[in-house]
A and B are shown apart, each in its own frame.
Chain A
Amino acid sequence: MVPLSHYLILSAILFTIGMMGVLIRRNVIIIFMSIELMLNAVNLTFIAFSRFLNNLDGHIFAFMVMTVAAAEAAVGLAIVISVFRNKPTVNVDEMNIMKW
């Protein structure tokens, strides 16, 4: 039997990796994928708690998170494509036209 702390630590590690990805990479698609990884880590926490508290609410929450992730990916990638059409780059440092 795997104790709950194992799942939580794994989730924390994955979340940290995702956060590192957002912080150190400049490719906007990799940043997006890191965000997906962070959402996944959160889902793991939800489902782990759900199992150990014997309560299905966590599953529903994870379900909602997945919906949000899907919507976010669709809109985000559409934005990336339209930015790319305007200025052929995926580097977030070069997407600075809205910066004051």
Chain B
Amino acid sequence: MELLAFYILGAGAVVTAVMMVIHRNPIVSALNLIFTMFCLAGIFVLLNAHFMAAIQILVYAGAIMVLFIFVIMLLNLRGEDWPPLTWKKLLASFIGILFVGYSLIKIIGIFRGSMLPVATPLPEDFGTTRIVGEKLFTDFLLPFEVTSILLLTAIVGAVMLAKMKIDKG
């Protein structure tokens, strides 16, 4: 049952990720990426990370991707043409696929024979908001506070970039 859910969600994530990379229209790409995020949120639920799943949808699908779509619409990008295929590119992609396939087979081979941790029964409240929050505000307080500085920097940077007057000389 869990395996089936994993395969469905995983296949959905991979297919939409590929669609995101190969589709011409940026809006359709963005929508595919949103779907990938959804599948990943589902996989997080399978991993007992309920809080992270909610945050995944809230932050990625709800905020970051809206920003992407907003910018795509603002710039009114309607799609682009793929550059024509040349022999060079075909050869390059063939070699690339060869390498990726080889390394994938190798990785799977390594996993087969290795001592990866196996699932142990989890405490009841694993991954709930309270536990993650407690961890965040005790063990990881300093990184958490530093994050706020990072976000502040990002806000100031974005506002400055948006307000900047560009001298068209």
Task: List A residues at the B interface (Cβ < 8 Å).
Answer: 1-10, 12-14, 16-18, 20-21, 24-27, 29-30, 32-34, 36-37, 40, 43-44, 47-54, 56-57, 59-60, 62-64, 66-75, 77-82, 84-86, 90-91
Cα separation A36 to B21 with both chains bound (whole Å): 12
Q: A78–B161 contact, CB under 8 A?
A: yes
Q: A1-B2, A59-B49, A67-B151 are in contact. List 8 more A-B contacts (CB 8 A).
A: A4-B116, A27-B80, A29-B26, A29-B68, A43-B52, A51-B49, A77-B68, A78-B157
Q: A74–B154 contact, CB under 8 A?
A: yes
Q: A60–B36 contact, CB under 8 A?
A: no
Q: B52–A59 contact, CB under 8 A?
A: yes
Q: A74–B104 contact, CB under 8 A?
A: no
How many chain B residues sit at the interface, stated as a range, is 35 or more
Interface of B is mostly: helix
Q: A71–B13 contact, CB under 8 A?
A: no
The residues of A that contact B72 with a CB separation of less than 8 Å are 29
Which 8 residue pairs are nearest across A and B when measured between Cβ atoms?
Answer: A71-B154, A21-B21, A5-B111, A78-B161, A78-B158, A51-B47, A17-B17, A52-B117
Q: A59–B150 contact, CB under 8 A?
A: no
Cα separation A68 to B37 with both chains bound (whole Å): 16
Q: A47–B47 contact, CB under 8 A?
A: yes
Cα separation A8 to B10 with both chains bound (whole Å): 11
The residues of B that contact A44 with a CB separation of less than 8 Å are 40, 43-44
Q: B71–A17 contact, CB under 8 A?
A: no
Smallest CB-CB separation from B53: which chain A residue?
Answer: A47
Smallest CB-CB separation from A81: which chain B residue?
Answer: B71
Cα separation A57 to B143 with both chains bound (whole Å): 12
Task: List B residues at the A interface (Cβ < 8 Å).
Answer: 2-3, 6, 10, 13-14, 17-18, 20-21, 26, 29-30, 33, 36-37, 40, 43-44, 46-49, 51-52, 55-56, 59-60, 63-64, 67-68, 71-72, 74-75, 77, 80, 83, 93, 96, 100, 104, 107-108, 111-112, 116-120, 122-123, 126-127, 131-132, 135-136, 139-140, 143, 147, 150-151, 153-155, 157-158, 161-162, 164, 166, 168
The residues of B that contact A14 with a CB separation of less than 8 Å are 13-14, 17, 36
Q: A2–B68 contact, CB under 8 A?
A: no
Cα separation A74 to B155 with both chains bound (whole Å): 8
Q: A84–B75 contact, CB under 8 A?
A: yes
Smallest CB-CB separation from B117: which chain A residue?
Answer: A52
The residues of B that contact A12 with a CB separation of less than 8 Å are 104, 107
Q: Which of A30, A50, A52 is within 8 Å of B118, CB to CB?
A: A52
